[in-house]
Amino acid sequence: MKLSIRSFPSASAGATALFLFSAIAVADTPDGGTPAAAPQPVAVTILTSSPKTAPGLIFLTPTTAQTGAQGPELVDDQGRPVWFDQLPNGVSAYDFRVQRYRGEPVITWIQSQGAFSTGPTTDYIADRHYHVIATVNAGNGLIADIHEFHLTREGTALITAYRTVPRDLSSADGPAAGLVTEGVVQEIDRVVIQYGH
């Protein structure tokens, strides 16, 4: 199991996030009868604490190739779960963090069925109550990758994607009918700007 960890670099940002994002997710009743067991987040044990660590929440994106807990997860500085969004098997979360959207603090993450633009990928924006308020997908037929999802002050999103294109690689001792994978950056607001071919 791999954990990607992102924490707040300053005490004020951590305190703000702790105040704004402090509910625990619960499971819905799938059939209107007995409530389903809530998915169990990854257990986190804090072995030692440092006064140099900023107070606030710790952002995790547990990922496993096996059946188990995976998805964006918030824990407090004692390792106690604050919020967890269980994702289906084969779907992983990346780049989980706090950003600002339309002047308000939000949490964002990338959710993908395949790394490196190989499967459906959607970027999520959730409010202080963990309700998804917007999703972002790449435009022009591309699939966003898992490396960047940045919200701008203008209300747009910067994302990255890859595209494989045919190129003559004979000048580099490659095939004349070769393939090259190029990086693409898109600014999303109905695909306003695309950098790359």
Positive or negative CA dihedral for 119, 123, 129, 131? negative
- Work out the average pLDDT over 67-95: 88
List all residues 6 or more positions away from 160 whose beta carbon is below 8 Å from its beta carbon.
Answer: 144, 145, 147, 148, 183, 184, 185, 186
Strand, coil or helix: what is 171? helix
The per-residue pLDDT for 41 is 84
- Work out the average pLDDT over 59-87: 86
Summary mean pLDDT of the chain? 77
The per-residue pLDDT for 150 is 96
The per-residue pLDDT for 34 is 59
Q: Which tops the pLDDT comparison, 161 or 66? A: 161
Identify residue 9 by its one-letter amino acid code: P
The per-residue pLDDT for 167 is 94
pTM over 0.75: no
- Work out the average pLDDT over 36-61: 83
- Work out the average pLDDT over 69-84: 90
